[in-house]
Every structure is written in C-alpha cells, then in structure tokens.
Amino acid sequence: MGEIFAFGSLMEEGYNVRISGQDVERGTFSHRHAILRDEISSEKFNLLNSNPKNKGVMSIYNSSLSEYGVLGFDYGYAMAAPNTLTIWEAQFGDFSNGAQIIFDQYVSAAEDKWKQQNGIVVLLPHGYEGQGSEHSSARIERYLQLCANDNMTVANCTTPANFFHLLRRQMKRNFRKPLIVFTPKSLLRHPLAVSEMVEFSEGEFEEVIDDTIDPNGVDRIVLCSGKFYYDLLDEREKNERKDVALIRLEQLFPLHEEKIERILSRYPNVKDYIWAQEEPRNMGAWSYMLQRFGLRELKIRSRKFYAVPATGSSTRSKRRHRRVIESVFDNKTT
C-alpha cells in the first residue's frame, strides 16, 4: 500500500511511473495488483491511471526472463526520462544475477566513468522464509561491495511509510542516483509492518530508526536491517527483555554515521554492540559493516559460513534461523 501511495502521489504531481519485471502487474507475491483483467473480454485495467487528478501516467509490463536485456533497456529508459520513476523488479532477489553485467558496468560505475547520473530503481525481494537456496537472498553483500563515493543508494525498509518516502525522495530531490531496495516478502502481510496515515502525510524517509524502550535500562544494542528486525522484536517481547535495544538501519548506503551516533549516544550504559543478520556470515551486510562502521566495535550474530544463501531443507533452515535469534539474546555467546 505504501508503494501504491508513492506511485499515485507522484503521478498527481506530474511524474510518470514505469515498472517492468517478470510478474510485476500482479506482483510476485500477489501484493501489487496494478493491472486487473476482465475474465470474459481479457481487457486490462490499470486503476492508477483512472485518477482524474493525474498529471502523469503509469506504464507497467510483465517482461521475459531475460534480466540482462530488460534491466539494460530500463537503465537506458531512466537515463532518457529522468522525470519518470523507472523501476525494474526481480521476481526474486536472486534473479538479478542474470543482469550482473549491467550492475557492474553501468548502475554502480556510470557516474564515475562518464559523469552520467541515472535514477533507475531496482526492487529485489529478500528474506529468509525457508524457501530454499534460490529464493532466499538478494545477495546484499554484492551490492554493498559496489558502493563508494555516494554512487547509489542501498536500502532495506521495515515500514510502508518509509518505503513510501524512499520512492518519493527518488524523484523529488534534484539529482539522480540508482536505488537498490531489498524489498520484503513475509512483511507484505506481517501484522506489525504497518504505518499510521500521519506517517505518510507528515513524515520523511528515516535512514535509521531508533528503539522506543527506556535507554537507561539498555546494556546491549543490536543493529539490524529489514525483516530480521521483526523476528528479533518477537523474541524480545516473548522473553520480556528490557536490556536489549534494536536499532534499524533502513539505509545501508550511504551509511550516515552522524545520525547513528546521535541514536547510540542516547544509551549511556551499553556494554555490547552487535550486528545481527539472518544471512550466513560470509554474506549479508556484515563484511560491509566491518569495513565501514567506525563508531563502535561490533560483534556479529549470524548464521555460520555457508557456500549457499540458504539450505534446501525447511526444517534445517528454521533451526539455523532459531540459533541466530537465540545468540542475539544469549549473554554467554561471544
């Protein structure tokens, strides 16, 4: 819903929206429903284009499983039409590996090589829900390795309002940068992943989201990102732990340490600073945080080192996931 609010409000303000991807008309997880089809006549209806207040139009196309070609085309489209919110969405985040050449040669490097700005948006579904090796990870580590000199934005939002403001910011600011968003799967229907209307109408994109518990009782800060936050929050509430604060990094790059420091300074009694992730230790954002985060010495809580993003066994996946969550709250774990 936050996504649709962003599209609709931008169209009312005169921006066009273009989306392509393998199953974008309905959304891979049946979450978008941008196109309705008459089951008798097969006629398509795009309800966002029916708003009489629109000054822009929305174009959305289911594309072929040729990520290299489709993302390459949309990268060029975004360059030619900077006032169009141009989006390519992978059916699952790992499908982007078929377009790796475009990311390496253009998305991450074009501004440095050719002084060419581009506002392409790439949506990569990400999250460990036990769907096996192929459809768990969007390979966060690969994109963060490409980040330097403010060449693009990498985000992993946890609320509809923050996603809304992120997409709007992409068009409202007076320059263009590629935007990589690790979009949710389970959070599309998670009862806690909701926002009040006032957060859309009066809020702004929050690069870091602080906790709401009493900072004086906290002796451990856990930095995390994306869907894993809700897994940790559930565990904390079950165990009634008031000594662990969960800080969400909604924007991984650029990593604004000044904003993070302002939040960390609110907690005077902290002894442990932890980076927690659901990905294996050689994946996810851990290596990036180890290199770029200079405010505190971080400890790591994650899966072990693995050759694949996730196991093919749902039972084994749940067991590994459970171990990570328990280690975040276990005072004996180093």
* Last-in-domain residue among 154, 179, 201: 201
* Last-in-domain residue among 176, 201, 226: 201
Pair (176, 234) in one structural domain: no
Q: Tell me the backbone φ, ψ of residue 253, rounded to 5 degrees.
A: -145, 135
Q: Please tell me the distance from the alpha carbon of residue 2 to that of residue 197, in angstroms, as a whole number.
A: 10
Residue 242 is part of a domain; what is its CATH number?
3.40.50.11610
> What pTM did the predictor assign?
0.96
Pair (195, 68) in one structural domain: yes
Pair (67, 20) in one structural domain: yes
Q: Please tell me the distance from the alpha carbon of residue 77 to that of residue 111, in angstroms, as a whole number.
A: 16
Expressed as residue numbers, the domain containing 302 is: 209-329
Residue 131 is part of a domain; what is its CATH number?
3.40.50.12470
Q: Is residue 167 part of a domain?
A: yes
| DSSP one-letter string for 111-156 | HHHH------EEEEE---SS--STTS---HHHHHHT--TT--EEE-
Pair (126, 75) in one structural domain: yes
Q: Is residue 334 part of a domain?
A: no
Pair (94, 185) in one structural domain: yes
* Last-in-domain residue among 201, 218, 233: 201
Pair (191, 273) in one structural domain: no
Q: Is residue 323 part of a domain?
A: yes
Number of domains in the chain: 2
Q: Which residues share a beta bridge with 85?
A: 17
Q: Is residue 35 part of a domain?
A: yes
Q: Which two tokens stand for residue 130?
A: 């036990």
Pair (22, 84) in one structural domain: yes
Pair (111, 172) in one structural domain: yes
Q: Please tell me the distance from the alpha carbon of residue 284 to that of residue 309, in angstroms, as a whole number.
A: 9
pLDDT in tens, the chain (334 residues): 999 999 999 999 999 999 999 999 999 898 999 999 999 999 999 999 999 999 999 999 999 989 999 999 999 999 999 999 999 999 999 999 999 999 999 999 999 999 999 999 999 999 998 888 889 999 999 999 999 999 999 999 999 999 999 999 999 999 999 999 999 999 999 999 999 999 999 989 999 999 999 999 999 999 999 999 999 999 999 999 999 999 999 999 999 999 999 999 999 999 999 999 999 999 999 999 999 999 999 999 999 999 999 888 888 989 999 999 999 999 765 5
Q: Is residue 171 part of a domain?
A: yes
Pair (295, 217) in one structural domain: yes
Pair (98, 140) in one structural domain: yes
Q: Are 94 and 138 contacting, i.e. CB atoms less than 8 angstroms apart?
A: yes
Q: Please tell me the distance from the alpha carbon of residue 267 to that of residue 264, in angstroms, as a whole number.
A: 6
Q: Is residue 52 part of a domain?
A: yes
Pair (256, 148) in one structural domain: no
